[in-house]
Chain A
Amino acid sequence: MSTFEEKSKRYGKSWRSFIRDWIMLFLLIALVVIFSITLSTFRTSDNLMNILRQTAFTAIIAMGEFFVILIGQMDMSISSTIGMVSIFFAGFVVKMGMPIWIAIILVLLMSALAGLINGILVVYGKMPSFIATLVTMNIIKGINYLYSRGLPISGLPDGFNFLGSGYIGIVPFPVILMFIVAIILFIITAHTAVGRSFYAVGGNLEASKLSGINVVFVSILAFVFSGVLSGVGALGLTAKTLSGNVSLGENLLFDVMTIVVLGGTSLTGGRGRIFGVVIGALFLQVISNAMVLMGINTYWQWVVKGIILIIVVLIDSNTKREVVTTSQKARIASVEEK
């Protein structure tokens, strides 16, 4: 008879599975070390803080997309949701003179509603999420332009700038916000029943349903998370420039997808970690930052990011995650012989 301690070791003697689980973290560290050695401008504390600050809001948006990909779906509409939050927030505050807090709550409710509609279309309408969110993306985009006629709305109060550019001590406020959001979401995903249900639904929808999990609620909630978190990210990005802009999110969808996948989230759902997303976001930002410092044309960043995404997806879809290492196989064999 074996003991509980014996059977509840997560990694046992197998270092390989530990390394595999955290491979992106090691790669990120390696990347930072290499750039720090080769680029003198990279290793300054200002620059490192800058990387963190620039990553923060994209990372928050990616954490929302993470939930949708975790349940095996996709949310294309975030780019428009970001624009919607930005332009309506500025409109509410500047044109209608609403207090900032009320405007924040209002736009976050709007982004939650966008997520809710996506979720309902996918779950009750049984639409493929790619199509459903592509449609809502365009509808929201249309509403944004109708509201703003395409023009930015500037003149937000200076105090609001703190959200995007403020500091607490030496740490930029967005970085603190990113970690707070990440920690809350980590607790939800790892330590609550609802959080575990996201993984279950993404891992096997039918089996989850038959195990009594409310798959409808969980799926819709994932889309709502995606909407709200892209709203939070959009507020931060708006605060940086103090003006609402409909096209704020238009180039972000690609980065967000790349970050989620870089973070080790399985595109078929059921596997991924919230801190993986943070690591993925930092990884991407370190590369663009280094390219800027090296004076490489910014358009090359698109090419490089594209190639990175291809490589990661190729790895994701072609290595059927090796479920058992050789030493584990030997152990299984010895167990079965008994």
Chain B
Amino acid sequence: MTNRFQSDTDDTPKLNKTVPLIELRNCTMEFPGVRALDNVNFTLMPGESHGLVGENGAGKSTLSKCITGEYRMTKGELFVEGQKIKLSSYSIKESQNLGIQIVHQEFQLMSEMTGLENIFIGHYSRKGGLIDWKALNNKAKELMDFLQCDVNLNIPVHYLRTAEKQIIQLAKAVQSKSKVLILDELTSVLQEKDIQNIFRIIDILKKRGMGIIYISHRLNEIFECCDSYTVLCDGRHINSGNVSDIDQQKLIKMIIGRELTQVYPSINADFGDIMLEVKGLTAPKAFKNIDFYVRSGEVIGLAGLVGAGKTELIQAIFGVHPVISGKIFVKGKEVKIKNPWHAIQLGLGYVPDDRRSLGLILKFDIKENTILPSMNKFKKMRFFQDHKAEAKAAFDINEKLGLNYYSLFQEVETLSGGNQQKIVIAKWMLQNSQIFLLDEPTRGIDVGAKFEIYKLIKDLTKQGKSVIIVSPELEELIGLCNRIYIIYEGMIMDTVEGERKRQEVIIHSLLGVNGK
């Protein structure tokens, strides 16, 4: 039986080992108010596995989206196999025709369809107008042999394990004539032995002459499966080179060792009583036995990788995510928080990570959004809303936060990310919340606005409020928090404060490498 996937000797005449598969020159990508990529160069050779590293928000995903055509870069040139690409008409569809495929960490599979259907969706073999299942089955078998994997392709994919679903995603990406494969944090949801399997597959694909762009937070993976690396920081190209020339320490330095672009206000050190304490909080599949506390005037941070359970933890405290055991104390009193309304009455305020879909009502104006949780405070004649008082309160709080706007009746949709975030925080300040739960408060906002949010957090603590921050940016947590809890796979691995509040210490626990 001839296997069209294994014929790596005679069936690869087009492969030219000297022409780069992908070449990006001076790529700049601007979003309103943010420069996500700034003059980045990137080259990928056939048979190369290229690690793309950097902190969250450094521009890794943006870069890969420029390559796949999901974003159209503002400036710069893209060459695919030496051919200059006309950017004005470049699209995902065209990049796929050129053989560029991307696999995301989130599953993009139809969960009710079988693995077979998922792999070949859109390119079914046909016979007389009908789908030729026999041919597809054979093709799938060849493909699985080639990848040396054994996954049941005949059951709906939602029955499969996470790792098996990833194999299906990979198989889907390599089944067509793909030449470039972008793996975007593919392993962040996988366990060690499954990761090894992915590495094995990457090796097979490399031998076939494919180019792999490997994006990961786990630096040891870069050393295990990449030939070369590119480091990005705040959208700038820091360095590229061969992995064999560097070691992990050097790489970490490149990723984090930079002049401080963000300045943090000094951390408040004047604490009061414990405001919120959590003991043994457990929610199945999210987190286990969580203990922490926060005092008035204090900022604590929750650090962890994607999927570590940070957001679920915050939501559990706010009464959104169900818990099965554990206790929550607010100001020393044990409470059972059943729903957000209850949490708000206890003085909690929640700033969600996705402000557009969870924090704001985009079609509403600034005033309505600002007063939403505290509507009941503005009454006249017991039943009626006092619109004037509402507007005045919204005006006062937003002026205090230095919001950029022209009218209180402007829809929040028209505001920039930083200004939108100010409104989500203003909501809780107006409601006079005592404990602020901030989930990635600076996500997707530019440096200037970030600093204003930091100042705001500092002001809150000065007024004796407590703040809990979740952030993927370690530097931010170190700069803002009195104490940082590091969560790994739903459990607190380590708590750092004072002397130990250093990036190296945190990274170790973050990756589960044991920090104690």
Contacts and interface: CB of A to CB of B under 8 A. Distances in A.
Contacts of A240: none
A206 B358 contact: yes
Interface in A78-93: none
Interface string A1-32: 11010011110100000000000000000000
A207 B363 contact: no
B372 A1 contact: no
A206 B340 CA distance: 11
Nearest to B351: A210
A212 interface: yes
A275 to B, nearest CB: 17
B441 interface: no
A196 B375 contact: yes
Interface stretch (A43-51, A133-141, A147-155, A323-331): A323-331
A213 interface: yes
A8 B391 contact: yes
A208 interface: yes
B363 A203 contact: yes
A234 interface: no
Interface string A178-199: 0000000001000111001101
B406 A328 contact: yes
Contacts of B344: 211-212
A330 to B, nearest CB: 10
Contacts of A324: 414
Contacts of A321: 363
B404 A207 contact: no
A272 B46 CA distance: 57
B50 interface: no
Contact of B361 (A2, A8, A200, A328): A200
A145 B376 CA distance: 46
Contacts of B31: none
Contact of A335 (B373, B399, B406, B413): B406
Contacts of A187: 384
Nearest to B381: A191
A2 B345 CA distance: 33
B368 interface: yes
B162 to A, nearest CB: 26
A317 interface: no
A335 B407 CA distance: 11
A204 B340 contact: no
B375 A8 contact: no
B399 A207 contact: no
Interface string B392-407: 1001000100001111
Contact of A210 (B358, B368, B391, B410): B358
B372 A208 contact: yes
A336 interface: yes
A4 to B, nearest CB: 5
Interface residues of B, number: 44
B422 to A, nearest CB: 14
Contacts of B391: 4, 8
Contacts of B156: none
Contact of A204 (B341, B361, B406): B361
Given A7-B395, A8-B395, A335-B404, A193 B376 contact: yes
Interface string B368-397: 100011011001000111010001100100
A337 B372 CA distance: 29
A270 interface: yes
A288 to B, nearest CB: 32
Contacts of B164: none
A332 B387 CA distance: 25
B98 interface: no
B373 A212 contact: yes
Nearest to A266: B363
B359 to A, nearest CB: 6
A207 B406 contact: no
Given A207-B359, A328-B406, A336 B416 contact: yes
Contacts of B387: 191
A12 B392 CA distance: 17
B362 interface: yes
B92 interface: no
B352 A323 contact: no
Interface string A145-170: 00000000000000000000000000
A209 interface: yes
B52 interface: no
Interface string B327-357: 0000000000001110111000010100001
Interface string A238-276: 000000000000000000000000000010001100000
Contact of B405 (A206, A211, A335): A335
Interface string A111-150: 0000000000000000000000000000000000000000
26 contacts: A4-B395, A7-B405, A7-B408, A12-B406, A191-B385, A192-B385, A193-B379, A199-B364, A200-B372, A203-B362, A203-B363, A203-B364, A207-B357, A208-B372, A209-B320, A210-B318, A210-B340, A210-B352, A212-B345, A214-B341, A270-B363, A270-B364, A323-B411, A328-B410, A332-B406, A338-B404
Interface of B: 318, 320, 339-341, 343-345, 350, 352, 357-364, 368, 372-373, 375-376, 379, 383-385, 387, 391-392, 395, 399, 404-411, 413-414, 416, 427
Interface of A: 1-2, 4, 7-10, 12, 187, 191-193, 196-197, 199-200, 203-204, 206-214, 266, 270-271, 321, 323-324, 328, 331-332, 335-336, 338
Given A7-B408, A200-B368, 19 more contacts: A8-B391, A9-B407, A10-B409, A12-B407, A191-B384, A196-B375, A199-B368, A203-B361, A204-B361, A207-B361, A209-B320, A209-B340, A210-B359, A211-B372, A211-B373, A214-B341, A270-B364, A323-B413, A335-B405
Nearest 8 CB-CB pairings of A with B:
A203-B361, A212-B344, A212-B341, A204-B361, A211-B372, A211-B373, A191-B384, A193-B375
